[in-house]
Chains A and B, each alone.
Chain A
Amino acid sequence: MEQRNIDTLESLLALYAQEFDCVLMNYRYMGMLLDEKNVENRIHHYEIERIYIYGTDSLGMQLCHVLHDRVDILGFVDKIGNKKIPISGPRIFDLCDFEKSYRDEYVIVTLTKYFREISSDLRPFVPSEKMLLIGEFLGDIT
């Protein structure tokens, strides 16, 4: 019984750690998106002209807000495509429509917690070098 309790606590803490890390990073990225000079530099770094944003969460919307004057945002991607964005903005593609429209553009993924699942969904038609975690887009070490 005691061992079971320890295992449960361990699993809970492990799950919590994963959730916590991703939420913490989202806060950081929200802050980094306010650094317009850095955003400009990163757009030049990747030579981005047109992008898709994977994620209709608040980070996705903030990214859209920061980028919309700087690059051509072709749309949001959402697996099911039924998310409501409370601003008039780019179209939301479901995965099927996205695959039909996709033409080798960068896809920035804002749902960091689900990145593994998302990248596995996108891998059949999006080259890995065109798939960016929002953190990679905002800064890396070269």
Chain B
Amino acid sequence: MLYISYIDNPQLHIGVWKKMNGQLKVFKKAFPFAALTFVYNQVAYLWDGERVIEKKRALHRKEYMEVLESWISVLGIRQTYIRYFLSDVFFIKLLKFLQENSIKSVVELATYPYDNEFPFGVRKFEDEIYRKEIPRYVERIATYTKHSNIWGIPCFNLANGYDMDQISVIHHDRRKNLLTMIAVSLLFYWQGFERIFEGMRNYYNTGWKREVNFVLVGTGKEEGYYKKLVHEFFLDKYVYFCGFKKEKELEEMYEKADIGIGSLGLYKRSDESTGSALKVGEYCAHGLPVVCGYQDTRFPKGTPFILQVPNDPSPLDIQSIVDFYDSLTQDEEFSNKIRKYAEEHLSWEQIMRPVIEYLSDE
């Protein structure tokens, strides 16, 4: 089985890289052989999840296609999973090659529709010409949207998954008189974290009983605005801006957290009221309860460990978050239960199951 990607420089795309490796791990369990391909600095790599199996120079797209075809032939590949980038003559030739050799394939569209992401240029022109040919060669598409078919091709509707082996569950010290909220995200306007700051101002202006902190991991355009608000609201003691963290440092941040905060400002982006942000799943995988301003499609309404707040600009009621946390923690096992939900619904193993069943079916 070959997982074909067109990602160039995995070091720059940490999130995508993590995701592809999570999927690859599942493919490796399902098939006798599975490897991922990508390109970096005009070299094509065959990667088994831990090491480079082989590399070959691929100076441009045509050569990459030729390298892929040679790997497929030499390794006796019978299935491919292709992370789509854009169509061009070489992509279509590759699809044709796969079809002619009866290699079962699924094409993943990480983003759809994607036209606005490439507003102009010859690549867009090429894509518009050649993507029309995709339905001749592809029988299944995997997408993260709700489309039942794209370009007339039936879809697998995936959600973002997690490699549970890489995420440890946080065990809380519930006796402490401190509650720490964490948000791990880029600081863009749709996060709506000003609602938390206003809520914290209200909370600290009334007879509060428990200290509540808010840790923000990540940077972004709103950082300056958020810092200004925190200062104006006299919250400097309670709000921490940690900047971008990854791997061990990020896990250390998670260890201090009691509740994860999802986006609270989706109402600012047209009429969006649903989503499936990576971070909410990650909180869940850590065994953290979540406060969220929208309906996350991966959790049924009324999921006990998700506190869904209105999708509007109103300040958050911090006392109600404290109460939500206290009621959850009556159950000693609550972290493990949240984690179990993640394992059963959000792991790549579960999410990729229909794709694997399709690819495995002779």
Chain A residues with a Cβ under 8 A of chain B: 9-10, 13-14, 16-18, 20-22, 25, 28-29, 112-113, 115-116, 133, 135-136, 138-142
Residue pairs across A and B with Cβ atoms less than 8 A apart, 30 shown, are A10-B89, A13-B122, A14-B62, A14-B89, A14-B90, A16-B122, A17-B62, A17-B88, A17-B90, A18-B59, A18-B60, A21-B59, A21-B60, A21-B61, A25-B42, A28-B41, A112-B59, A113-B59, A116-B59, A133-B42, A133-B59, A135-B42, A135-B43, A139-B41, A140-B40, A140-B41, A140-B43, A141-B11, A141-B40, A141-B52
Q: B59 to A142, Cβ gap below 8 A?
A: no
Looking at chain B's contact residues, the main secondary structure is: mixed
Q: A135 to B89, Cβ gap below 8 A?
A: no
Q: B47 to A141, Cβ gap below 8 A?
A: yes
Cβ distance B179 to chain A, nearest Cβ, rounded Å? 42
- Which residues of B127-171 have CB atoms within 8 Å of chain A's CB atoms? 129
Question: Which residues of A sit under 8 angstroms from B52, Cβ to Cβ?
Answer: 141-142
Contact of A115 (CB < 8 Å), options: B10, B40, B57? B57
Alpha-carbon distance between A142 and B40 when the two chains are bound, in angstroms? 11
Nearest first, the 8 closest Cβ-Cβ pairs linking A and B are A135-B41, A21-B60, A18-B60, A135-B42, A14-B89, A17-B61, A139-B41, A141-B40
Looking at chain A's contact residues, the main secondary structure is: helix
Question: Which residues of A sit under 8 angstroms from B88, Cβ to Cβ?
Answer: 13, 17
B45 interface residue (CB < 8 Å to A):
yes
Q: B43 to A17, Cβ gap below 8 A?
A: no
Question: Which residues of B sit under 8 angstroms from A16, Cβ to Cβ?
Answer: 122
Among residues of A, the one whose C-beta sits closest to the C-beta of B52 is: A141
Alpha-carbon distance between A113 and B59 when the two chains are bound, in angstroms? 7
Total number of A-B contacts with CB less than 8 angstroms?
66
Alpha-carbon distance between A3 and B126 when the two chains are bound, in angstroms? 18
Centre residue among B43, B52, B59 by max chain A CB count within 10 A: B59
Question: Which residues of A sit under 8 angstroms from B126, Cβ to Cβ?
Answer: 13, 17
Among residues of B, the one whose C-beta sits closest to the C-beta of A21 is: B60
Alpha-carbon distance between A18 and B129 when the two chains are bound, in angstroms? 17
Q: A20 to B41, Cβ gap below 8 A?
A: no
Among residues of A, the one whose C-beta sits closest to the C-beta of B47 is: A141
Alpha-carbon distance between A21 and B59 when the two chains are bound, in angstroms? 8
Among residues of B, the one whose C-beta sits closest to the C-beta of A114 is: B59
Cβ distance A25 to chain B, nearest Cβ, rounded Å? 6
Among residues of B, the one whose C-beta sits closest to the C-beta of A18 is: B60
Known: A115-B59, A135-B42, A139-B40. 17 other contacts (CB 8 A): A13-B89, A13-B122, A14-B62, A17-B60, A17-B61, A17-B126, A18-B62, A21-B60, A133-B42, A133-B43, A133-B59, A135-B40, A136-B57, A140-B40, A141-B40, A141-B47, A141-B52
Among residues of B, the one whose C-beta sits closest to the C-beta of A14 is: B89
Question: Which residues of B sit under 8 angstroms from A22, Cβ to Cβ?
Answer: 59-60
Alpha-carbon distance between A113 and B52 when the two chains are bound, in angstroms? 25
Question: Which residues of B sit under 8 angstroms from A10, Cβ to Cβ?
Answer: 89
Cβ distance A106 to chain B, nearest Cβ, rounded Å? 16
Question: Which residues of A sit under 8 angstroms from B40, Cβ to Cβ?
Answer: 135, 139-141
Question: Which residues of A sit under 8 angstroms from B42, Cβ to Cβ?
Answer: 25, 112, 133, 135-136
Alpha-carbon distance between A142 and B43 when the two chains are bound, in angstroms? 12
- Which residues of B8-55 have CB atoms within 8 Å of chain A's CB atoms? 10-11, 40-43, 45, 47, 52, 55
Question: Which residues of A sit under 8 angstroms from B59, Cβ to Cβ?
Answer: 18, 21-22, 112-113, 115-116, 133
Alpha-carbon distance between A21 and B62 when the two chains are bound, in angstroms? 10
Question: Which residues of B sit under 8 angstroms from A112, Cβ to Cβ?
Answer: 42, 59
Cβ distance B62 to chain A, nearest Cβ, rounded Å? 6
Alpha-carbon distance between A69 and B89 when the two chains are bound, in angstroms? 44
Among residues of A, the one whose C-beta sits closest to the C-beta of B41 is: A135
Centre residue among A22, A112, A135, A141 by max chain B CB count within 10 A: A141
Alpha-carbon distance between A112 and B59 when the two chains are bound, in angstroms? 7
Cβ distance B172 to chain A, nearest Cβ, rounded Å? 39
Cβ distance B57 to chain A, nearest Cβ, rounded Å? 6
Cβ distance A42 to chain B, nearest Cβ, rounded Å? 11
Cβ distance B38 to chain A, nearest Cβ, rounded Å? 8
Q: B10 to A141, Cβ gap below 8 A?
A: yes
